[in-house]
Amino acid sequence: MRNISYFLIVTVLLVSCGGNQPTSIDDVIANGNLESLRAKKSEFSIQQQQLTANIQLIDSAIASKSGEEKLPLVTTVIATAQNFNHYLELQGNVKTKQNVLIYPEMSGTLQRVYVKEGQKVSKGQILASIDDGGMSSQIAQLRTQTELAKTTFERQERLWEQKIGSEIQYLQAKAQYEANESAIKQAESQLGKSTIRAPFSGIIDNVIKDQGTVVSPGPGSEVFRIVNLSDMYIEVDVPETHLSGIVKGKDAVVYFPVLGDSVHTKIRQTGNFINPNNRAFTVEIPVPNKNGNIKPNLTARVNLNDYSNAEAILIPQSIISENAEGDQYVYLAKANGTENHASVHRQIIVTGKTQGSVVEILSGISDGDQLVKEGARSVKDGQNVEILKNNSNE
């Protein structure tokens, strides 16, 4: 039957085409005109293309009527509502507010260094001592003089209470005693500067001056560098367009490429000032450092949660196409009553946030819709297809 149809179509077309020709093929060839030969060849090529297209149409009609139609094979994915967290990715460096250089408060020889590099120390722990230049002996003498002044004052006080002696003697004794006490306090305060102590708990990162070195207050005389690795944080600049989405308490994931490790934390603080130079505000994220691997100035990739939707429709980006007007669309597959067969229909959609390989759908798709996945680029609106495999949207 199909061969008969081909024969009839070819015959009709050839007769029709032949009847309109003023000159036969033999005449054209016999004439030997090159332009005429090329024109005739072009004419027959067009007729051949038309003939092939018509044969394909008839083949399709025959297959449809006889049940032998070959349908395009596609796979589908079911759109489901699910929790969606979008993250803004930024770059930052690890910092610590407790990373300081320790300077001496008085001049003198570094008499003793009590700690080594890498040693953990506690707040207030003695790190080194400076030769006090005999100040300890001076304080001992002051204490002896103060004891004498105290005894004199107490005797004068008792006599004055008994109305014995003059008031001036009592006041002089009192002034002398108080002056000696004040001198001791000042001397002890100055002597305390000969001892260098840890300003906070941390690790001695560097012992800069060796024992026996002469030191003095001021730049260039730093003795130690102390770092607290337990109170690390990252400060990043966030574009002002994300001001409403990036707030204190939101989740943050910090990944360290060098370590191949990540930590989960939360935004600790957001800045209240928009930098006019880069139109951004600062965000501070604490970084737990239990094993001590994280160091100051370590590069990190920071992901901040700026948007969440508990009932988001997510689909793969790969199945979305765009028409000439710029509208995005997908193909919905609807069962047509035959097992594994469906008809596809183009559906215009509006997309939202994108995360990785999936995109959020704001409108156009509902929970439970079946979307064409593999084969979406080759199907046409209204076409019948055969569903090869049904996938869930992961």
Token reading at 251: 């989740």
Boundaries of domain holding 283: 88-97+230-309
Q: What is the CATH number of the domain that holds 217?
A: 2.40.50.100
Select from 227, 246, 278 the last residue of a domain: 227
Same domain, 303 and 365: no
Q: What is the CATH number of the domain that holds 338?
A: 2.40.420.20
The yes-or-no verdict on residue 18 having pLDDT over 80 is no
pLDDT class of 20 with cuts at 50, 70, 90: very low
> pLDDT by residue (tens digit) across 282-312?
999 999 887 788 888 999 999 999 999 999 9
Same domain, 282 and 368: no
Consecutive H or E run containing 214 = strand 214-215
Scan for tokens 């000969």, then name that residue: 194
Q: CA-to-CA distance for 270 and 288, rounded, in angstroms?
A: 18
SS3 216: coil
- At 46, the amino acid letter reads I
Count the domains in the chain. Answer: 4
Mean pLDDT of 41-64: 78
Mean pLDDT of 87-114: 91
> pLDDT by residue (tens digit) across 200-219?
998 999 999 989 899 988 88
Token reading at 45: 């090529």
Q: What is the CATH number of the domain that holds 288?
A: 2.40.30.170
Q: Label residue 182 exposed, middle or buried (CB < 10 Å: 0-12, 13-18, 19+).
A: exposed
SS3 385: strand
The whole-number pLDDT of residue 237 equals: 94
Same domain, 171 and 276: no
The yes-or-no verdict on residue 14 having pLDDT over 50 is no
Same domain, 256 and 238: yes
Token reading at 137: 């002996």
The whole-number pLDDT of residue 5 equals: 44
Q: Which residue has the higher pLDDT, 116 or 341?
A: 116
Mean pLDDT of 143-158: 86
Same domain, 221 and 234: no
Mean pLDDT of 103-113: 90
Scan for tokens 């003697």, then name that residue: 169
The yes-or-no verdict on residue 239 having pLDDT over 90 is yes
Do residues 307 and 314 make contact, with C-beta atoms less than 8 angstroms apart?
Answer: no
Select from 209, 227, 245 the last residue of a domain: 227
Token reading at 310: 């508990």
10 Å Cβ neighbour count for 114? 14
Q: CA-to-CA distance for 156 and 152, rounded, in angstroms?
A: 6
Q: CA-to-CA distance for 249 and 286, rounded, in angstroms?
A: 11
The whole-number pLDDT of residue 390 equals: 59
End-to-end CA, the chain: 49
Q: CA-to-CA distance for 366 and 313, rounded, in angstroms?
A: 7
The yes-or-no verdict on residue 361 having pLDDT over 90 is yes
Same domain, 115 and 223: yes
The whole-number pLDDT of residue 1 equals: 44
Same domain, 109 and 216: yes
Same domain, 199 and 141: yes
pLDDT class of 3 with cuts at 50, 70, 90: very low
The yes-or-no verdict on residue 22 having pLDDT over 50 is no
Select from 275, 294, 309 the last residue of a domain: 309
Consecutive H or E run containing 99 = strand 99-102
Ramachandran region, residue 15 (left: φ > 0; alpha: ψ -120 to 50; beta: rest): alpha
Scan for tokens 């067009």, then name that residue: 46
Token reading at 105: 């408060």
Q: What percent of the chain has pLDDT over 90?
A: 40
Mean pLDDT of 104-133: 91
Angle at 99 between CA 238 and CA 266, to 5 degrees: 35
Which residues, 6 or more positions from 183, have their beta carbon under 8 angstroms from its beta carbon?
A: 142, 146
DSSP 8-state secondary structure symbol assigned to residue 240: G
Q: CA-to-CA distance for 339 and 387, rounded, in angstroms?
A: 9
Q: CA-to-CA distance for 300 and 92, rounded, in angstroms?
A: 5
pTM of the predicted protein model = 0.59
Q: CA-to-CA distance for 331 and 369, rounded, in angstroms?
A: 10
Question: What dihedral do alpha carbons 351, 354, 360, 363 form, nearest 10°?
Answer: -10
10 Å Cβ neighbour count for 263? 19
